[in-house]
Chain A
């Protein structure tokens, strides 16, 4: 079989490069030699503050968010046996958005906004899984339809809340809805979760490969289908909820990254899942760096950049794949 090491090494190097760019670029550029000095614990105070306190946490948060979304997307695509599924397809970001906007309307601080978004995401997950479970049959198409309809419902609630909100609250709300890493400050927990997800992908990857062939075929080859499907669903929902909580709803990473990687690397989940983590992190780190620097000192919502990059890339891939 294809070796896992080479593509993962290349992607890890690209990721490190993106992180380097992210901490170097900005209103006050930090040169490579200064960057090296800071990383080994030297350098002047200004550079240390810029790199270690401002840019590195944000860059790592962007990396973690992108990685979480891409892995969640790849998992959802296997779960729903549908290459066009993304982490938000089951209404999770809508639930998170309603939670976040409610907290903003109530004038709560950013910590409570995050908590409320997380609660909204989990509520949406429970709602969709409960409704899709229904009278017993739990098929991918039924889950997908339930998720899409619940997402449409959340969309209507979000629009309603935007319509009745006071004007001064609107910019913050819109930035949250488009994805924004300006308030992401503690990337460590999400990086740990992301690494754990990638480690789990190694022993579970072959079962996922078999599951991608259909649930009956997987069961006939010895996969405990129902527990595995629930596990994927819970894992993907949790990863997405963490990402959305950290950075709002950022589109297209979860859809485009696994899709691109499959075109290049094939469809072995033992490779695709860790590769998605690295490539998704790289893409979002670069997108966030662009969002910070293009019209500096103003910032663009990073979700706009990923969508602007993601839409043409995806249309191109779709067109090419017939």
Chain B
């Protein structure tokens, strides 16, 4: 299954000390939020978890096997990554973009079949971008492109989702519906890791949190235990006011 274990992992952020090794396991059904200020290494951590970067020390295990032992294709069948930044060198339509999510599941000689296209269409509909199917991705708004990127990973259908600020560029309604989609993925036995900047989304949706401090220090645990105002104020160097709404803490930065 999609269990991801970090065994004394030290992420290789250039020019930084090693800090505290990460030793934790991301289990199916959990939603992990990664919080930290700019440059704390959140994106680098996600790329390391996806096997796109080598760690400085330690190991990442996916379903009990070291990431390096699994081929890239094998990893891509189980683990999907929503990137924070996207480049598109060549024009491509929204449907073609979502369809590349099927790449790891098809053999080299196979063309995309009707059920692959149906999966992609379902994913686009789930993200509210089905009406843009034939549009070129380059002509979409930032929020629409973000939703197409998430639809691509939904088409990929991994056991483990890694998402780098998935609510970037999204309006309030779509922020909530994307978080609901990820929660639904977790409920159906998949695991989710998110980098987030929004403490309130983290408080509302994440089951676990990992706080990354700029110097490489880190702490982690169930969300309820991690959402301590003093720790969060130290994380961002920003005073916060806290309120409770419907039993969920809400954080507002104070001037």
**A interface with B by C-beta (< 8 Å):** 1, 81-83, 202-204, 206-207, 209-210, 212-214, 216-217, 219-224, 262, 266-268, 270
Say whether A222 contacts B76, CB under 8 Å.
yes
Further pairs besides A220-B81, A222-B75: 13, Cβ < 8 Å? A1-B99, A207-B108, A210-B103, A217-B86, A219-B72, A220-B52, A221-B104, A222-B72, A222-B74, A222-B77, A222-B104, A262-B90, A267-B92
User: Separation in Å of the A2 CB from the closest CB of chain B?
Assistant: 10
Q: Which residues of B contact A207 (CB under 8 A)?
A: 103, 108
Q: Which residues of A contact B109 (CB under 8 A)?
A: 202-203
Given that A1-B112, A222-B104 are contacting pairs, would A214 and B91 also be in contact in the complex, using a CB cutoff of 8 Å? no
- The 15 sampled A-B contact pairs (Cβ below 8 Å) are A82-B89, A204-B108, A206-B108, A212-B89, A214-B87, A216-B47, A216-B83, A220-B80, A221-B101, A222-B77, A262-B90, A266-B93, A266-B96, A267-B91, A267-B96
Please report which residues of chain B, range 78-129, place their CB below 8 angstroms from some CB of chain A when the two chains form the complex.
80-81, 83, 86-93, 96-97, 99-101, 103-104, 106, 108-109, 111-112, 117
Q: Which residues of B contact A268 (CB under 8 A)?
A: 96
User: Separation in Å of the A270 CB from the closest CB of chain B?
Assistant: 8
B73: CB under 8 A from chain A? yes
Q: How far is the CA of A268 from the CA of B71 in the complex (A)?
A: 25
Closest 8 CB pairs of A and B: A222-B76, A222-B104, A203-B108, A81-B89, A222-B73, A220-B81, A214-B87, A221-B103
Q: Which residues of A contact B77 (CB under 8 A)?
A: 222
**B interface with A by C-beta (< 8 Å):** 47, 50, 52, 71-77, 80-81, 83, 86-93, 96-97, 99-101, 103-104, 106, 108-109, 111-112, 117, 156
Q: How far is the CA of A217 from the CA of B104 in the complex (A)?
A: 12
User: Separation in Å of the A292 CB from the closest CB of chain B?
Assistant: 36
Q: Which residues of A contact B90 (CB under 8 A)?
A: 81, 83, 212, 262, 267
Q: Which residues of B contact A216 (CB under 8 A)?
A: 47, 52, 83
B76 contact from A81, A212, A220, A262, Cβ within 8 A: A220
B100 contact from A219, A221, A262, Cβ within 8 A: A221
Say whether A214 contacts B89, CB under 8 Å.
yes
Say whether B108 contacts A213, CB under 8 Å.
no
Q: Which residues of A contact B101 (CB under 8 A)?
A: 221
Q: Which residues of B contact A81 (CB under 8 A)?
A: 87, 89-90
Say whether B83 contacts A220, CB under 8 Å.
yes
Q: How far is the CA of A216 from the CA of B82 in the complex (A)?
A: 11
Q: Which residues of A contact B87 (CB under 8 A)?
A: 81, 213-214
User: Separation in Å of the A15 CB from the closest CB of chain B?
Assistant: 24
